[in-house]
Structure 1
Amino acid sequence: MTHALDTLNQQHSLPAVLEFMDGGAGLPVAHIHTPQASARVALQGAQVLAWQPAGAVPVIWVSKAAVYEPGKGVRGGVPVCWPWFGARDGLPAHGFVRTRMWQVRHTAQDSQGQVVLRLGLTDDASTRALWPHAFDLELVVTVGRTLTMALITRNTGSTPLTLTDALHTYFAVADVAQTRVQGLEGCDYLDKVQHMATCRQAGSVAFSTETDRVYVNTTATCVIDDTAGQRHIQIAKQGSASTVVWNPWSEREKAFADMAAGEYRKMLCVETCNAGPDQITLAAGATHSLVAEISLL
């Protein structure tokens, strides 16, 4: 691991700004720190684990009981769900890229002082055994006063491919029972708690029980009103026609060994997605970008 970290740092570190360190169990994590913000990004799964603008409390949530092991996703952060969202019989939940090691393709600091980290993954025999398509996948993470994540899919094969995807963002809130999500008023959603019943959102989204919804046909910007934390978190998006809102609440939380008791009150997922009936079909040679832009208002 020391040799691998040395190589990463020789090739891609940015002095006093970006350094690769052992995140546990030999898993490399990019640590980013600038006057604008700090962040951590794991190379396994290209998973953003932290983002904290200067002078603010953390915006991204990770469980205290999260497991850091090869081949296992971390509970929290921003898991990349691709090329499918949700469960599939006999296949990894939320696709196969969130537990694979991604390659660092480029690091830089732009003219605005933001750090840009570009991670990539391509198909091989093991991916084609799960999903028989040729692809090139990139996650471009831009860390500044805004956190921007762009998931870029390129169909490098000779036939069309169809996928669903998500930037499955876990947000830190002071008390989910005092939190609302604005921007989805009047939207239809599929309610997983009610066996995928179709419902319509009245007013902002509030939380008093398990919530697991796919809001469809929406490109809207959402705002998390974290009342107890006295802040508003904005999630703007591009290339996404659905939004997932999730909190497991107290009973469902018990099913997750990698969540500590009562942590459901401190987190909320608002996910930038193409999910449910919302699918992306790419012709040979075509590209699709799924973008989430997160900022404090």
Structure 2
Amino acid sequence: MSVSVAALNQQFAIPNVLKFVEAGAGVPVIEITGADASARIAVQGAQVLEWQPVGQQPVLWVSRAAIYQAGKGVRGGVPVCWPWFGAGEAGKPAHGFVRTRMWQVRETGQNAQGVFVKLGIGDDAETRSLWDHAFDLELIVVAGKILTMELVTHNTCVEPFTITDALHTYFRTGDITKTEVLGLDNTSYLDKVLDFGQATQHGAVTFSGETDRVYLDTQAECVINDAELKRRIYVAKSGSDSTVVWNPWTEKEKGFADMAAGEYRGMLCVETCNAATDTVTVAPGQSHHLVATVSVGE
């Protein structure tokens, strides 16, 4: 379902604050210029692409080689992974099916926290062929001095369903070799690089090669300590009992057509999620809220 940028602007634009533009054919993007921050959000996939508080450098990372086309996710920003995280069953897309589908714009506005956008998507014959459940999914984004993303899963069917999900956030770093992640000390993790072997984190997470880990049983705030850019990014969360930390490094990067050579040095994923054994069962008529809150300091 495509909706014209003109129609979206007529219904949802906020003069001098929020407008819709086309990033590619059939790929409308919301551009926000608020008092406290600027941001961009793709309607396809409800994917936050940029967030930059006033006076700060960009916080999120998007590849220079990213592709903006209908039915394809953008490499970077905050892809929404739902109703499963990671590889799907045979013939089913990795990280679920909502990140490459067009969502509905349901509401835009401003409040004390910043400029907000509410996007939503529901089940249809195509989604039920992949995952046979009735649902309504919303992402509420508030872009201000703090970026808040709330993914709300509503179970609209008559039986419970079980999901994994993620706000798969790509952060911009000055130099990955001079970057560390705090907040996961003494936390057990599954190491995908080592065939999902289990280990325990000791001290800060540092980077000297491909890193792909699911940290388990953690509700902790993570802090990205970026020595090159002389800043700290704080990632707090709720509704999540696992955190993924990922950097593809040199060899894995070469396998991504939508990632330019050497870009791994300037990015890092710290993902708010329910992944691996951290599943969520939602009863009929009930909802699950996955929330990530991002702020910047020194």
TM over 0.5: yes
Matched residue type, 1:201: Q
1:38-63 deviation digits (Å, cap 9, x = unpaired): 00000000000000000111000000
Question: Which whole-Å CA distance do the structure 2 matches of 1:278 and 1:95 have between them?
Answer: 16
Match of 1:210 in 2: 210
Secondary structure of the 2:9 match is helix
Question: Which whole-Å CA distance do the structure 2 matches of 1:174 and 1:183 have between them?
Answer: 20
Question: Which whole-Å CA distance do the structure 1 matches of 2:192 and 2:91 have between them?
Answer: 20
Identity %: 61
Question: Which whole-Å CA distance do the structure 2 matches of 1:176 and 1:169 have between them?
Answer: 15
Question: Which whole-Å CA distance do the structure 1 matches of 2:2 and 2:167 have between them?
Answer: 30
Q: For 1:150-229, what aligned pairs fall within 5 Å after superposition?
A: 150-229=150-229
Question: Which whole-Å CA distance do the structure 2 matches of 1:101 and 1:12 have between them?
Answer: 16
Match of 2:110 in 1: 109
Deviation of residue 5 (structure 1)? 1.1
Question: Which whole-Å CA distance do the structure 1 matches of 2:255 and 2:23 have between them?
Answer: 25
Matched residue type, 2:106: R
Match of 1:291 in 2: 291
Match of 1:18 in 2: 18
Secondary structure of the 2:276 match is coil
- Over aligned residue pairs, what C-alpha RMSD do you find? 1.2
1:5-39 deviation digits (Å, cap 9, x = unpaired): 11101110111100001111231000000120000
Question: Which whole-Å CA distance do the structure 2 matches of 1:4 and 1:69 have between them?
Answer: 15
Match of 1:255 in 2: 255
Question: Which whole-Å CA distance do the structure 1 matches of 2:2 and 2:154 have between them?
Answer: 33
Deviation of residue 296 (structure 1)? 0.3
Q: For 1:86-97, what aligned pairs fall within 5 Å after superposition?
A: 86-88=86-88, 89-97=90-98
Match of 1:145 in 2: 145
Matched residue type, 1:273: C
> Which moves more between the two structures, 112-121 or 282-291?
112-121
Deviation of residue 152 (structure 1)? 0.1
Matched residue type, 2:26: G
Matched residue type, 1:278: D
1:236-294 deviation digits (Å, cap 9, x = unpaired): 00000000000000111111111100000000000000000000001111100000000
1:72-128 deviation digits (Å, cap 9, x = unpaired): 010000000000000122100000000000000000111x26111000000000000
Match of 1:49 in 2: 49
Kept in 1: contact 2:244–2:269 (CA 8 A): yes
The 3 A distance-change label for structure 1 pair 3 and 235 is closer
Normalised by the length of structure 2, the TM-score is 0.98
Question: Which whole-Å CA distance do the structure 1 matches of 2:71 and 2:171 have between them?
Answer: 23
Match of 1:232 in 2: 232
Deviation of residue 2 (structure 1)? 11
Secondary structure of the 2:203 match is coil
Question: Which whole-Å CA distance do the structure 1 matches of 2:237 and 2:54 have between them?
Answer: 23
Matched residue type, 1:272: T
Question: Which whole-Å CA distance do the structure 1 matches of 2:26 and 2:163 have between them?
Answer: 31
Question: Which whole-Å CA distance do the structure 2 matches of 1:268 and 1:210 have between them?
Answer: 11
Normalised by the length of structure 1, the TM-score is 0.98
Match of 2:9 in 1: 9
Matched residue type, 1:54: V
**After TM superposition, which residue ranges in structure 1, 4 or more long, deviate above 4 angstroms?**
none
Structure 2's unaligned 5+ residue stretches are none
Secondary structure of the 2:24 match is coil
Secondary structure of the 1:70 match is coil
Aligned length: 296
Match of 2:68 in 1: 68
Question: Which whole-Å CA distance do the structure 1 matches of 2:113 and 2:140 have between them?
Answer: 16
